[in-house]
Structure 1
């Protein structure tokens, strides 16, 4: 229930500590704290930002809260037309509105974070986790975790056209790393990146005259959609998180 800074533990804040522990989602934790239902070392805490030392004893309604929680990761098959966001825009819904109602009670207590983003019209694999350190691990370019996309393009694709993507190219926000690219057919291009900037695949393909009509993410690391139906999810095993995402868990 603490976070580390330069190798040292420092106090977490109470509502986030409860969410990290899987006691309840952070918005519910805020309400429970304000209602006087939470104690820290025997004293009622009424502020969600109450500091929680590493050795603190937290109780909700008199019941002790376990310290820490295992890392959980969900693989979700994102459909087109929903935002990777916690808030809808006008009539456009969010991935959380699709995912959260499906979760069993033992998973619904956590606060879930999307691991990266997919554009509103992009489909495919989107990971969610209760571990914000995994988010940083999976989205950092330094991790070199590959993400595999398949683009349906308007123009005719061939190896000559996609070669600049393999060599690395300049985009308007700086140089893009070399990508692994395979032309599956004249209108289908597979692109594997180890970074994930805004609209990156679409911008790279557009720069070589292959604007994308549709984009689908097939894999993150060695995690694939398998048989997950559109809009559905599955819980990854600890072994998958460790071996296929190269993540060993919280420190």
Structure 2
């Protein structure tokens, strides 16, 4: 039975208002997301402000977070005019072990979004930061963030084949045959893997470079060749290399996004 495709909430809100609220060029965004993308308010705060009647669009109070808003619309928050034009931003964050890449953590350790927001300067805290992919709770290393969903889609699409370099301390000392099996590609329970870059850095430390991103893939591949992962760290995504201390961050340069991540 085919799954019924859901109508986007911003489109539902626009239809309730009438066709005049639908931008002919398809560029209409929903209000709470537009505020988060432009760095005015993170989405949860934006939704609260809208429902409290603190946001005006084109001179009228708007209480629907999913109301469509066109580029260039006159928007005021708490009476102050706010510009919704947003440039694409990217951040490199050094994830420590412990926090999860989810909106909340039932175990109470915390999320990467909380950790990131705690160290950002005031001028960047108004953005809605989206993680480009995931790292497991116990995995450390490079995690990218952006304010633009297009970069998230690019960075996580199986069609992009963006290389990601990991360093894994494993149980035992993998022989050359195990490394060659990783290079050739393995058959896992969800199908064959793409060939990977694999080499030893130390007798029990494997550098593994993947061009796909399946669930727990590094751990499953190394377990499949008989060397389970004891500790895992991500060093690079595309041409972006981790170069900040644990729990620290930096903005990506435009050329890193365009050339390093191949996003233009």
Tell whether the structures are fold-level matches, with TM greater than 0.5.
yes
Tell me if the contact between 2:134 and 2:143 (Cα under 8 Å) persists in the aligned partners: yes
Q: 1:160-199, aligned counterparts within 5 Å? A: 160-199=177-216
Question: Mind listing any 5+ residue stretches in structure 2 that lack a counterpart?
Answer: 1-9, 12-23
Moved more, 102-111 or 161-170: 161-170
Query: Aligned residue for 2:40?
Result: 23
Q: 1:84-233, aligned counterparts within 5 Å? A: 84-226=101-243, 228-233=244-249
Give CA-to-partner distance per residue, 1:5-64, whole Å, 9 cap, x none: xx9415321111111222111111112111212112211111112122345322223333
Tell me if the contact between 1:158 and 1:183 (Cα under 8 Å) persists in the aligned partners: no
Distance in 2, Cα, partners of 1:160 & 1:83: 34
2:256 pairs with one of 240, 243, 247: 240
1:35 partnered with 2:48: no
Structure 1 residue 92: Cα displacement: 2.3
Query: Aligned residue for 2:29?
Result: 12
Number of residue pairs matched?
A: 243
Distance in 2, Cα, partners of 1:169 & 1:68: 46
Q: What secondary structure sits across from 1:86 in the alignment?
A: coil
Q: What secondary structure sits across from 2:28 in the alignment?
A: strand
Distance in 1, Cα, partners of 2:72 & 2:254: 27
Q: What secondary structure sits across from 1:80 in the alignment?
A: coil
Tell me if the contact between 2:71 and 2:85 (Cα under 8 Å) persists in the aligned partners: no
Structure 1 residue 70: Cα displacement: 1.1
Structure 1 residue 177: Cα displacement: 0.8
Tell me if the contact between 1:77 and 1:231 (Cα under 8 Å) persists in the aligned partners: yes
2:73 pairs with one of 56, 64, 68: 56
Runs of 4+ in 1 over 4 A off after TM superposition: none
Q: What secondary structure sits across from 2:36 in the alignment?
A: helix
Distance in 2, Cα, partners of 1:107 & 1:56: 22
Indicate the structure with greater strand content. 1
Distance in 1, Cα, partners of 2:247 & 2:211: 25
State the TM-score, normalized to the length of structure 1.
0.91
Go from structure 1 to structure 2 and tell me whether the alpha carbon gap of 1:160 and 1:19 turns closer, same or farther (over 3 Å shift): same
1:68 partnered with 2:85: yes
Question: Mind listing any 5+ residue stretches in structure 1 that lack a counterpart?
Answer: none
Distance in 1, Cα, partners of 2:154 & 2:181: 28
Structure 1 residue 196: Cα displacement: 0.8
State the TM-score, normalized to the length of structure 2.
0.87
Distance in 2, Cα, partners of 1:85 & 1:31: 20
Q: What secondary structure sits across from 1:142 in the alignment?
A: coil
Tell me if the contact between 2:199 and 2:207 (Cα under 8 Å) persists in the aligned partners: yes
Q: What secondary structure sits across from 2:187 in the alignment?
A: strand
